[in-house]
Chain A
Amino acid sequence: ETGVTQTPRHLVMGMTNKKSLKCEQHLGHNAMYWYKQSAKKPLELMFVYSLEERVENNSVPSRFSPECPNSSHLFLHLHTLQPEDSALYLCASSQDLISGANVLTFGAGSRLTVL
C-alpha cells in the first residue's frame, strides 16, 4: 500500500455511461495528478492540482472532468467516452509543486475499458 488508494480498480462502461474514478491519498501531500497509461506509450499527464486548484490541463478532451474537493481527494468524472479511452488511469501525489521535492507516489491505477 503506497498511501495512494484508487477505486475502482477495474471499470467497464459503455460509451453513453457516466462514471467516476476516485483517488485518495493519506500522505499529507498538497499536489495530486491524473495520468493516463496506454500500452506502448509514455505516461501522459492529464491534470495537476495544487492545494485543490487546477494548475495544468494538458489538452484533455472535455469528456474527462476532474474534481479536487480537498487536498486528499481527487476524482475523474467520465462521460460519453470512446473506445480509445480504454487505458489504465493512474493517480499520483507529491509533497507540493514548489519545494523541488517532486517525488511522485502513484496509486495502483483504475483499469478502464470502454465498450
Chain B
Amino acid sequence: GENVEQHPSTLSVQEGDSAVIKCTYSDSASNYFPWYKQELGKGPQLIIDIRSNVGEKKDQRIAVTLNKTAKHFSLHITETQPEDSAVYFCAAALMYSGGGADGLTFGKGTHLIIQP
C-alpha cells in the first residue's frame, strides 16, 4: 500500500518569511495530492491540491509543487502570517480516470509556528 512521509514534524519561521513542507510517497501510481490545514480545536480543511498532470499550482500565498520522477511534493507558503500557524497534512491517493479513488493516505503532519 501507499506510504507517505512528511518533514519536518515542526517548523518555526519568522513572520513574513517563507515556509516549505515536504512529502514523499511510495506508490508511483498515486496521482492526487491534497494538503490539509488543521487549526487548533478544528478538523483538517483542504487548502490546495494537485494532480499528477501538472507540476505546480498556486493560490495566492500558497503553492504546491510535484516531482513525479522523485515521488515527492511540497507545500510552499510565502509571506507567512500569524494565522498560518497550524498543523499541515499532506496526503496521496490514486484517482481513477473514470472516476473513483482509493482512500487518502496521510502524512504525520507538520506543526507550523509563525514567530511574530
Contacts and interface: CB of A to CB of B under 8 A. Distances in A.
Interface of A: 2, 4, 6, 40-43, 45, 48, 56, 90, 92, 97-100, 102-109
Contacts of B89: 42-43
Interface in B79-94: 89, 93
Interface stretch (B11-19, B37-45, B60-68, B70-78): B37-45
Contact of B103 (A56, A103, A105): A56
Nearest to A43: B106
A104 B4 CA distance: 18
Contacts, number: 59
B35 to A, nearest CB: 12
Interface in B15-50: 32, 34, 36, 41-46, 49
A40 B101 contact: no
Interface residues of B, number: 26
B94 to A, nearest CB: 10
B44 A106 contact: yes
Contact of B43 (A42, A48, A56, A90): A90
Contacts of A106: 36, 43-45
Contacts of B9: 40
Contacts of A102: 32, 93, 95, 101, 104
B105 interface: yes
Contact of B106 (A42, A100, A105, A107): A42
